Structure 1
Amino acid sequence: MRTINFIVILLVSNVCYGICKGWILHAKSLCMDLTDGISKAKNITITYTIRNHFIEPWFEHERNVTSSAGQPFIRFMEQAATDDVNYEFSSRYQSKVGYVITELGKDRPEGGSGFTSWQLTKAPSTILPIDVSRYIPEDGDHLVMDYVIPGL
């Protein structure tokens, strides 16, 4: 019986998404009641650190960033860049590895040349083998973008 109720609610909810924009007030109210929980995504907060201890100008910046759960890390990076010029970045897409961060930070040392790059680490020391568009942060993660020479 629960399965049938769930299916009926799901069907009505999907129909409501299509009709909520102009039907009678009662139908609109019903749609809002049914879809209220669906449209509100849970937010999570991570700590995001960028650091360059490799070449001048050296820097290290850390901040908390809040965004919707289930979003890739690059969305958190975008939020941080919107809030703080120190977190601005540039990237390029490579079909074999995904998004590569080429520049990061207000002073923007360039990476991704093969000699240097930006490395994504889950603090304290877990190097993440996937790109910033594939890693899905969890609430409380501390993610670090380090300017490095790969392999050192």
Structure 2
Amino acid sequence: MAAAVFQITGYKNTGKTTLMCRLIDDLVSRGIKVATIKHDGHEFEAEAPHADTARHRNSGAIWSAITSSERTAIVKEEPSRLLELIGEAPADAFVLVEGFKQEVFPKLVIIRHADDERLLVDLKGIKAVAVWPEYRLREDHIPAGAMLFEINDVQGIGDYIRKTAWRSQS
């Protein structure tokens, strides 16, 4: 099981992927191994349509792997639960999860527009809120115990998520 887990959530086009990449850079610069898991609300294709593994799956394979001297990729023709994916992550990795809003791990919610604020009521496990510089979030809208960050405060967010992430008991 991974060493620590923290989620970055928000609606589409709020900056989740950009913040994730900036947090990965920050954590790696501190000597922390990072693994990532992303939820995609749409069908996705992880490889070129004419790649050998895609051809294998188009022929009926339900599981396909490709490996080289540099990396391995596995494609399964079935969904995976977040906990299952976390269990497959390296045991010494800090896992950053993008999406999976309804999961129970500690999370940061990104707020860019007024409509995004409903997530602050609907979601569980909110430990932090990141707002865009031009957005003013009322203090009484911040969930109890959650920290408020400006979305560009990557170092501050990185410090905070390291302290508040879910930790494996093993």
TM exceeds 0.5? Answer: no
Structure with bigger RCO (C-alpha 8 Å, 6+ apart): 2
Which protein is richer in strand relative to its size? 1
TM-score by length of 1: 0.26
TM-score by length of 2: 0.24
